[in-house]
Structure 1
Amino acid sequence: MPSFVSRYPLLAGVASLLLTTPTLAQKAPQTDSLNIRRIYDEALLRGQSYENLRHLTGQIGGRLAGSPQAQQAVDWSKVTMEKLGLDRVYLQEVIVPHWVRGAKEKGQIKAAKGKGVDVPVCALGGSVGTNGKLRAQVVEVQSLDELAAMPEEKVKGKFVFFNRPMNPTYIETGKAYGEAGDQRRAGASAAAKRGAVGALVRSLSLAHDDFPHTGTMRYEDNVAKVPAAALSTNGADRLSQLLKADKNLTFELEMACQTLPDVKSYNVIGEIKGSKYPDEIITVGGHLDSWDMGQGAHDDGTGCVQSMEVLRLLKATGLKPERTVRAVMFMNEENGNRGGIKYAELAKAANEKHLAAMESDGGGFTPRGFALETTNPETVTRMQQWRSLFVPYGSGEFVVGHGGTDIGPLKDQAKVLIGYDCDSQRYFDIHHTAADTFDKVNRRELELGGASMAALVYLLSKYGL
């Protein structure tokens, strides 16, 4: 039977806060509690995040940087924020890479005897194509270090198959994803250095299914570019099993992906001017681009519509922010982060004062709280005094952590980078796959997340840091 704490976490959290920090409730004025309640009520009664996401995913779909769909998303975001009656909505030009997947990829295990076994595969973002069918033997490794220690004759002319899974014992799945991601990002160049013809990478997922997970990879300068593909977790298990029985089997890969010249795109920005301190800026955002295989719902359509909703909630509740609040739909987070870099560059050139930057890029699941990235421990302490206002809504975790990729370039300009944190247990089951679709998003969870973000922006705008 669950303990009292596990069955009633909100009551336990409130009790813990009252026992350990009895003055927190006194420090938070009653008006703040009431105003935050208004924000949540507005979100749950009249929230627009879910319907906005329905349009973004259903009418536009996957939005890889440089694609026509990405431009459609730019146009839609601008019009949608203009309808909110903000003080300003504008575009910020960004030059982005233009990689295209081409025809659906094909992968097949071929033994000396018997019928070939089809394996679900997809090209990793940025990979070169195979120029027809590419067939070679396979060598399986668990890490980049294991590959580096192998004699070259065991690797030359083969596919290197990186089959290290995400660590299922980590409670925070993002940690497992980051730890296993080196083989996806660097595997192709590591394989090419040893004379391999290509890289096959186990999908970064804790699920066992037939969805291959794409994601960005990078080629090192002055190293041959070889094709890099992700195998579904079921496919990777099958290949590993068959390799144990037949070391001489071959794998046949066919990919038509290619990189085209860079193209012009945009960050989309909407803002409400601060009533008292307009020169101090709070940025909240998500990335408008997504991979092309699904609809980009959780990654990161949810973050975009929640960021727009922050502005709508402030206006709808009449809570005029004292500091300027911007919602930024960043372009090109997935394969370059050029939107985030450009935003930070222009902010620095204009001598803008960024108080804080918040990002939602972990899906639209149930809110848990916020991750705080800052060099000043006092900032963390100050923000943690607001926890009691969020505990009733299930989002009272204020912990030191990672802010986000898009806002990362603001690290030297903003006093704190804030990552909106939600339940991550299901996120990497669909991340970067054809399964990242609108039907995987729960309306209530999504709207609660936007309200949590708006509530924290309200407090930052009122009290500063």
Structure 2
Amino acid sequence: MKKQISIFTILLLTTTVLFAQKVNKEDSIQLRKIYNASLLDGKSYDWLDHLSNKIGGRLSGSANAEKAVKYTQAELDKLGLDKVWLQPVMVPKWVRGLKEYSFMETGPGITSIMDICALGGSVATPNAGLKAGVIEVKSLEELAVLGKEKIQGKIVFYNRPMQADLIHTFEAYGGCVDQRYSGAAEAAKYGAVGIVVRSMNLRQDDFPHTGAMSYGDLPESQRIPACAISTNGADKLSNTLKLIPNLNFYFKQNCKVFPDVQSHNVIGEITGSKYPNKYMIVGGHLDSWDLGDGSHDDGAGVVQSMDVLRLLKKTGYKPEHSIRVVLFMNEENGLRGGREYATQANLKKENHVFALESDSGGFTPRGFSFDCDDANFAQIQSWEQLFKPYLIHYFEKGGSGADIGPLKKDGIVLAGLRPDSQRYFDYHHAESDTFDAVNKRELELGAATMTSLIYLMDKYGVKNSAAQIKN
């Protein structure tokens, strides 16, 4: 009897191993098809060329943003998806106006031109511009130490750089972005007349980097103009202040906030063959800042997400779940698109089980970070060997993406594509974020990597989750 049980156990184990090998081989073949299709016949680079060079910067509420909506909707229609539609969303409308102008004055008639740009959402300077003395700080907390006596009537210069010894550049960004976002609101409390913020950039160059800022609940009458200065300019200003503490800084900007306007999220869907009411989404944000053409942030994520659905169809794979591409509007200065999508999903009681976002540039893909429970992460880790031939090795728990964040609830798996980030902040929110900074092969590798994860998540499903059990 024991011998029979032993033989049965061996046969069962052998069958299990052979089945696992077959499954892995099938998956390996499908991933190879996906990468071949992207690298030999990809569409992402052509789409990005049009978005960047034929449309350009796509600031929420702008004419270019609406051109991008119409263009991507038309391109998704060409793919033969089961559904393509626009989801209305109200977005802020902030206009930069004429190019900013600035100089540092070290003595009567002695000036040096500085490279600046207005921060997104800032008020304008007076028509004649603003000139005042400068007080340099490294943090928001320093304002309280200095007090109103030293800050009142001055321009506050925030000069805390990104921490260069951090390998994870998004961690370095997170460590200093509070200066940009909250700097004006905090400085105004102590009587400052304006702020200048060191650009969030690890490279020394002459490109000022814009980005969103907030006045919080500060009354309009107390809001002060805010601008960013290039890293080279920041160092020059800081070094000169050490020699000439009483220098003046002048800047003029003409930006203006208008009432909200209607825009759209762009959505396309392949309806699931087995679970049509369970949704997996992939997306990026269609809007960008206005200084460059938004190729890395986030034109790359948009076209990669579009190509995921095209690559699934091209390789003959028929998803079991409904797969949606969502091109979110207004991530940069409001997150209205992501929030509206989640709101509508909740109202319609749509069951979302997985979401993947690409919003870290079009550089070489390294892997993914996941916001999920241990059971799902264990399953995902079991796929690492499938990605190894493509040099994809980074599978970690962590953040996913801003636009898919509002979907978070028990049972859903959220993921973010993680490309190599060492050069990302050279271009982020700057005039240098242009099409020529994107490598075709790196972009296409990212699209294939995203498609491969969508394929595996669709095939094996979300594990041990309320979202999976729910009809």
1:179-198 equivalences under 5 Å are 179-198=175-194
For the structure 1 residues 341 and 413, does the alpha-carbon distance in structure 2 shift closer, same or farther, using more than 3 Å as the test?
A: farther
What residue in structure 1 maps to residue 134 of structure 2?
A: 138
1:65-76 equivalences under 5 Å are 65-76=60-71
1:414 is displaced (CA, Å) by 5.7
Deviation sequence 1:285-324 (CA, Å, 0-9, x none) = 0000000000100000000000000000000010011111
Which of 273, 276, 292 aligns to 1:275? It is 273
CA distance in 2, matches of 1:390, 1:126: 42
Which of 265, 289, 298 aligns to 1:300? It is 298
1:151 is displaced (CA, Å) by 2.4
What residue in structure 1 maps to residue 436 of structure 2?
A: 439
1:207 is displaced (CA, Å) by 0.5
Instruction: Give the letter for the 2:438 counterpart.
Output: V
For the structure 1 residues 291 and 378, does the alpha-carbon distance in structure 2 shift closer, same or farther, using more than 3 Å as the test?
A: same
If you compute each CA radius of gyration, which structure gives the higher value, 1 or 2?
A: 2
Q: What are the ranges of 5 or more consecutive residues in structure 2 without an aligned counterpart?
A: 1-16, 463-471
What residue in structure 2 maps to residue 7 of structure 1?
A: none
Is it true that 1:459 corresponds to 2:456 in the alignment?
Answer: yes
What residue in structure 1 maps to residue 196 of structure 2?
A: 200
Please report the RMSD computed on the Cα atoms of aligned residues, expressed in angstroms: 1.4
CA distance in 1, matches of 2:109, 2:132: 17
CA distance in 2, matches of 1:260, 1:434: 23
What residue in structure 2 maps to residue 148 of structure 1?
A: 144
1:83-122 equivalences under 5 Å are 83-113=78-108, 115-122=110-117
1:26 is displaced (CA, Å) by 4.3
CA distance in 2, matches of 1:27, 1:363: 35
Instruction: Give the letter for the 2:45 counterpart.
Output: Y
Deviation sequence 1:413-454 (CA, Å, 0-9, x none) = 661110001000000001100100000111110000000000
Instruction: Give the letter for the 2:193 counterpart.
Output: V
Q: What are the ranges of 5 or more consecutive residues in structure 1 without an aligned counterpart?
A: 1-21
Identity %: 55
Which of 380, 383, 407 aligns to 1:383? It is 380
CA distance in 1, matches of 2:70, 2:236: 44
CA distance in 2, matches of 1:355, 1:191: 43
Q: Is this contact kept in 2: 1:373–1:417, CA < 8 A?
A: yes
1:115 is displaced (CA, Å) by 2.0
Instruction: Give the letter for the 1:50 counterpart.
Output: Y
CA distance in 2, matches of 1:26, 1:316: 25
Deviation sequence 1:10-33 (CA, Å, 0-9, x none) = xxxxxxxxxxxx999749531111
Q: Is this contact kept in 2: 1:60–1:69, CA < 8 A?
A: yes
CA distance in 2, matches of 1:342, 1:119: 40
1:168 is displaced (CA, Å) by 0.2
What residue in structure 2 maps to residue 286 of structure 1?
A: 284
Which of 393, 397, 406 aligns to 1:409? It is 406
Deviation sequence 1:101-129 (CA, Å, 0-9, x none) = 00000111011245201100000000000
Which of 206, 213, 217 aligns to 1:210? It is 206
For the structure 1 residues 140 and 27, does the alpha-carbon distance in structure 2 shift closer, same or farther, using more than 3 Å as the test?
A: farther
Deviation sequence 1:197-226 (CA, Å, 0-9, x none) = 011100000010000000000002135210
Q: Is this contact kept in 1: 2:185–2:218, CA < 8 A?
A: no
- The SS at the match of 2:175 is helix
CA distance in 2, matches of 1:113, 1:102: 29
1:44 is displaced (CA, Å) by 0.7
Deviation sequence 1:379-438 (CA, Å, 0-9, x none) = 111111111111111123210111000101011266111000100000000110010000
Q: Is this contact kept in 1: 2:122–2:225, CA < 8 A?
A: yes
Structure 1 stretches of 4+ moved >6 Å: 22-25
For the structure 1 residues 161 and 171, does the alpha-carbon distance in structure 2 shift closer, same or farther, using more than 3 Å as the test?
A: same
For the structure 1 residues 119 and 42, does the alpha-carbon distance in structure 2 shift closer, same or farther, using more than 3 Å as the test?
A: same
- The SS at the match of 1:116 is strand
For the structure 1 residues 23 and 437, does the alpha-carbon distance in structure 2 shift closer, same or farther, using more than 3 Å as the test?
A: farther
Is it true that 1:323 corresponds to 2:321 in the alignment?
Answer: yes
Which of 344, 369, 391 aligns to 1:394? It is 391
Instruction: Give the letter for the 1:412 counterpart.
Output: K
Q: Aligned residue pairs: how many?
A: 443
The TM-score normalised by the length of structure 2 is 0.92
CA distance in 2, matches of 1:25, 1:260: 59
CA distance in 2, matches of 1:328, 1:276: 21
- The SS at the match of 1:369 is strand
The TM-score normalised by the length of structure 1 is 0.93
1:377 is displaced (CA, Å) by 1.6
